[in-house]
Amino acid sequence: MTNSLPLSRYKVLDLTRARAGPTCVRQLVDWGAQAIKIEMPGGRTGDGMGGNRHGFDFQNLHRNKRSMTLNLRDPEGVAIFKRLAQTADIVVENYRPG
């Protein structure tokens, strides 16, 4: 991507799961933002949130994003996330309320 895109100076942390969230972040990336997709260990198998990681839909929604696995239920994972968030401009999540 070139720096001439309108959002090229923004860094996004992507914690999204269901369609609306990944679509939102994909749009930001299409406009030049740099995104890191953060996933829980073990991937998406059986979470009911749609799509196999190697399937067309997942690949389309998460194109041009970097990715990492991070256990946000572990204090060390939370500490890593907080360090990432200090340098991020945007954090996007669409978890279920509660």
The domains of the chain are located at: 11-92
Fold observed for domain 11-92: Rossmann fold (3.40.50)
Q: What is the pLDDT of residue 51?
A: 62
Q: Report d(CA 3, CA 17) in Å as an integer.
A: 28
Q: pLDDT of the chain along its 98 residues, tens only? A: 456 899 999 999 999 988 899 999 999 999 999 999 999 998 655 455 556 767 777 777 888 999 999 999 999 999 999 999 999 999 999 988 87
Q: Name the nearest CA neighbour of 42 among 63, 70, 17.
A: 70
The model's pTM is 0.83
Q: What is the pLDDT of residue 46?
A: 46
